[in-house]
Amino acid sequence: MSLLHALDLLATFVFALVGARVAADKGLDYGGIAFVAAISSISGGTLRNLFLGLRPIWIVDPWIITSVITAVILTLVFRRVTHVSKSLLIMDTFGLAVATISGAHLAIQSDVAWFGAILLGVVTAVTGGLLRDLLCQIEPVLLHRETIGTSSLIGSIFFVSLLEVGSSLMVAVFVGGAAVVLSRFISIYFNLHLPKFVK
pTM to 2 decimals?
0.89
Residue 93 within a domain: yes
For 62-95, how does the pLDDT look when each residue is reduced to its tens digit (9 = 90+)? Answer: 999 999 999 999 989 886 555 556 777 888 898 9
Model pLDDT, residue 157: 98
Model pLDDT, residue 85: 63
Residue 199 within a domain: no
Model pLDDT, residue 145: 62
Residue 146 within a domain: yes
Residue 197 within a domain: no
Residue 186, CB half-sphere, CA atoms under 13 Å: how many? Answer: 9
Q: How far is it, in rounded angstroms, from Cα 24 to Cα 34? A: 10
Residue range(s) defining the domain that contains residue 73: 3-189
Domain count, the chain: 1
For 113-131, how does the pLDDT look when each residue is reduced to its tens digit (9 = 90+)? Answer: 999 999 999 999 999 999 9
Mean pLDDT, the chain, rounded, equals 89
**DSSP three-state, residue 193:** coil
Q: Averaged over 49-59, what is the pLDDT?
A: 93
Give the single-character DSSP code of 84.
Answer: S
